[in-house]
């Protein structure tokens, strides 16, 4: 598959309706529309692709995303577990398997040590289940976010030593934990690292470091989640002990949860794992996951990346943010339905508390930005004594959405501060921290998310330094909101055949976003209405030519009702996703509008 960057073949199209829901005194200008150039294919490829029998619009979408030959398109539309690479291709995999099987033979105690986010929690639950399945003596350890922080902690090593563990398996951490791994080695404890975070110049002195991002790795896909790397280890272990493929597939629900919640690119192997994993979630054999689905109101319903990212993931994450993530792991490994329901309700309570704290921090952060007049900064660094360090990462993500620039929030505690950062497309957060590492006590992460610890006295210099780095390495255009349009579409293109083909593009997520369409010159049919509790959403119908009428919803754009004119030909251009609405037992197409443009007498610029 050829990698085609959208930015290489795009023109700009101005948006005249401002983005709603944001304080216009604090946010940047409304987004511009980025239109696709016509997809061009070699003449030799056209005949081959016509054999696929796909709608023309679907073929354009596929070609623009780099799927430009029959084999690549067929694999994309029909993902298979056969497309997954062998775990043996990962560095140190065979060493790790041999050491674990030796631990089984010698009846050693094994400790699975996981991070406290969804990725680490799911990876921990997966490894605990698999190690028990093949007959090992296993327990798990999750560090306390506030007391121990991210990564393999000295307290965790002491726990392993005091409780007789001679082998530690990390999941979603360990690649940069040099001190703790050396401490474990001095105690006579071997460490196998399963991780996906960016390595530093050197690797820790562990028994094995399984990480597709290692510089010496030949693994064909480097963007596995932490739980994805743990899944590969589980695969190798189950194969080495004569287990069946079904024994492996039953863990894909955990892989999908961790991969989506960690916002990993949903291409190549990740897309396959999530595609099959989402189906497993709906019919999961794990009583804890069923209890979680029940508390979220999702039992028996279709599960997509939205449900994982915004409904299941936050509930799993909540205990690690507010208290200790141990409860979430217990939920995912228990076989007791009563225990599962009790824990699921506890996580629900934690999540509600987390939401309240999050809203309070968001308000405080916005007030700080306004008070300190920080809107001209290209990189926001904010700190406060009252902020909860388990929640600052979520708030950083919301501030990125609101102000559209990389953001770090720091929770101040005595002489130190712990924080989390989030970034925007085109800006590598981990690399930015790396250039400012002299101001930091520790840091880690990847392109779009990172964590750090810093001395209070260095915060001001660090904020200045990382803002200067951002100014030197970016242009103003990077901080202009953009809506990337995937294709021009006629309403007549959106027929049943096309919709069925488009469904095969799922799961949607990073690097495989839900397609965005542009249709121009539409007429508003009937009278638009504002809907929703706050009357801030706009519902109306649009027509193309004389007979193609489709319903539309514009969330957060209720004010646009004053601009729409009923019955005027060639009146409206819209950018939208495709959605469905159910009414009276019937499913109908609905356009989910991202932005609109009222056409003037001069037409489109």
The residue count for the chain: 605
Q: From its phi and psi, is residue 327 left (phi > 0), alpha (psi between -120 and 50) or beta?
A: alpha
Q: Is the pLDDT of residue 547 over 60?
A: yes
Residue whose tokens read 């990077």? 478
Q: pLDDT tens-digit profile of 568-593? A: 999 999 999 999 887 666 778 999 99
C-alpha separations of 582 from 498, 548, 586, 587 in Å: 19, 19, 5, 5
pTM: 0.88
Q: Is the pLDDT of residue 1 over 80?
A: no
3-state percent breakdown (helix, strand, coil) of the chain, nearest 5: 40, 20, 35
- How many Cα atoms sit within 13 Å of 225 on the Cβ side? 34
Q: What is the mean pLDDT of the chain?
A: 90
Out of 3.40.718.10, 3.60.10.10, 3.90.1640.30, 3.40.47.10, select the CATH number for domain 83-348.
3.90.1640.30
Q: pLDDT tens-digit profile of 298-342? A: 998 999 999 999 999 999 999 988 888 999 999 999 999 999 999
pLDDT at 5: 36
Query: In angstroms, rounded to a whole number, what is the distance separating the alpha carbons of residues 184 and 395?
Result: 35
Q: What is the mean pLDDT of residues 477-502?
A: 93
pLDDT at 150: 83
Q: Could you count the other beta carbons within 10 Å of the beta carbon of residue 36?
A: 19
Classify residue 438 by its DSSP letter.
G
Q: Pairing relation of β-strands 10-14 and 32-36?
A: antiparallel
pLDDT at 146: 82
C-alpha separations of 219 from 86, 211, 340, 535, 602 in Å: 9, 9, 37, 51, 55
Confirm if 266 and 509 have CB atoms less than 8 A apart: yes
Q: Could you count the other beta carbons within 10 Å of the beta carbon of residue 262?
A: 25
Please state the φ and ψ torsions of residue 353, each to the nearest 5 degrees: -65, -40
Percent of the chain with pLDDT over 70: 92
Q: Is the pLDDT of residue 153 over 90?
A: yes
pLDDT at 69: 87
Q: Is the pLDDT of residue 601 over 50?
A: no
Query: In angstroms, rounded to a whole number, what is the distance separating the alpha carbons of residues 531 and 553?
Result: 9
CATH class of 372-479: alpha beta
Q: Domain extents for the chain?
A: 6-74+485-598, 83-348, 372-479
Q: Is the peptide bond before 398 cis (omega within 30 degrees of 0)?
A: no
Q: What is the mean pLDDT of residues 332-358?
A: 96
How close are the terminal C-alpha atoms of the chain, in Å?
A: 35
Secondary structure of 449-516 in HEC code, one letter for each residue? EEEEEEEHHHHHHHHHHHHHHHHHHCCHHHHCCEEECCEECCHHHCCHHHHHHHHCCCCCECCECCCC
Please state the φ and ψ torsions of residue 219, each to the nearest 5 degrees: -65, 135
Structure tokens given for 371: 């008070």
Confirm if 55 and 172 have CB atoms less than 8 A apart: no
CATH topology of domain 6-74+485-598: OB fold (Dihydrolipoamide Acetyltransferase, E2P) (2.40.50)
Query: In angstroms, rounded to a whole number, what is the distance separating the alpha carbons of residues 150 and 445?
Result: 10
Query: In angstroms, rounded to a whole number, what is the distance separating the alpha carbons of residues 417 and 432?
Result: 18
Query: 41-64 in b/e burial notation, b at 16+ Cβ within 10 A?
Result: eeeeeeeebeeeebbebbbbbbbb
Q: pLDDT tens-digit profile of 257-284? A: 999 999 899 999 999 999 999 999 999 9
Residue whose tokens read 């109908």? 588
């Amino acid at each position: 598959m050829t990698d085609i960057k959208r930015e290489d073949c795009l023109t700009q199209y101005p948006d005249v309706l401002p983005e709603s829901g944001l304080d216009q005194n604090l946010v940047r200008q409304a987004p511009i529309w980025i239109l696709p150039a016509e997809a061009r294919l070699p003449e030799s490829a056209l005949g081959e692709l016509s054999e696929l029998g796909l709608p023309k619009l679907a073929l354009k979408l596929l070609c623009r995303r780099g799927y430009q030959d029959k084999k690549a398109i067929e694999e994309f539309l029909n993902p298979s577990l056969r497309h997954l690479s062998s775990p043996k291709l990962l560095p140190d995999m065979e060493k790790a398997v041999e050491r674990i099987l030796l631990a089984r033979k010698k009846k050693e105690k094994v400790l699975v040590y996981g991070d406290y986010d969804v990725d680490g929690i799911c990876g921990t639950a997966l490894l605990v289940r698999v190690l028990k399945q093949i007959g090992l003596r296993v327990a798990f350890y999750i560090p306390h976010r506030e007391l121990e922080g991210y990564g393999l902690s000295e307290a965790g090593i002491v726990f392993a030593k005091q409780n007789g563990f001679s082998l530690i398996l990390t999941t979603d951490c360990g690649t940069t934990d040099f001190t703790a791994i050396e401490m474990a080695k001095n105690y006579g404890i071997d460490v196998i690292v399963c991780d996906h975070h960016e390595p530093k110049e050197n690797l820790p002195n562990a028994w094995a470091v399984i990480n597709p991002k290692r510089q010496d790795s030949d693994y064909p896909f480097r963007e596995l989640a932490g739980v994805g790397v743990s899944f590969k280890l589980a695969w190798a272990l189950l194969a080495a002990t004569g287990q069946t493929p079904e024994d492996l597939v039953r863990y894909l629900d955990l892989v999908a949860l961790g991969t989506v919640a960690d916002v990993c690119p949903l291409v190549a192997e990740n897309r396959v794992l999530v595609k099959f994993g989402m189906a497993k979630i709906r019919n999961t054999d794990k009583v804890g996951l069923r209890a979680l689905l029940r508390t979220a109101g999702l039992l028996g319903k279709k599960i997509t990346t939205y449900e994982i990212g915004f409904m299941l993931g936050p509930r799993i994450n909540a205990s690690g943010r507010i208290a200790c993530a141990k409860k979430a792991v217990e939920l995912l490994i228990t076989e007791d339905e009563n225990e599962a329901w009790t824990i699921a309700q506890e996580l629900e309570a934690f999540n509600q508390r987390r939401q309240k704290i999050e809203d309070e921090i968001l308000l405080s952060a916005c007030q700080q930005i306004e008070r300190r007049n920080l809107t001209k900064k290209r990189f926001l660094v904010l700190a406060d004594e009252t902020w909860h360090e388990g929640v600052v990462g979520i708030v950083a993500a919301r501030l990125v959405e609101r102000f559209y620039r990389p953001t770090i929030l720091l929770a101040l505690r005595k002489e130190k501060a712990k924080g989390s950062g989030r970034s925007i497309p085109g800006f590598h957060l981990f690399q930015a921290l790396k250039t400012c590492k002299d101001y930091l006590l520790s840091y880690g992460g990847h392109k779009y998310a990172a964590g750090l610890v810093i001395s209070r006295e260095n915060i001001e210099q660090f904020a200045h330094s990382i803002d200067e780095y951002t100014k030197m390495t970016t242009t103003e255009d990077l901080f202009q909101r953009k809506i990337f349009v995937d294709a021009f579409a006629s309403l007549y293109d959106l027929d049943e055949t096309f919709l069925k083909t488009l469904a095969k593009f799922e799961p949607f997520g990073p690097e495989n976003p839900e397609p965005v369409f542009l249709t121009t010159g539409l007429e508003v049919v009937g009278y638009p209405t504002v809907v929703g509790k706050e009357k801030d959403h706009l519902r109306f119908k649009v027509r193309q030519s004389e007979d193609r009428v489709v319903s539309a919803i514009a969330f957060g754009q209720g004010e646009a009702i004053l601009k729409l004119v009923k019955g005027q030909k060639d009146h409206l251009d819209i950018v939208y996703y495709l959605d469905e609405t159910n009414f009276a037992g019937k499913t109908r197409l609905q356009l989910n509008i991202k932005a609109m443009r009222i056409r003037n007498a001069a037409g489109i610029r």
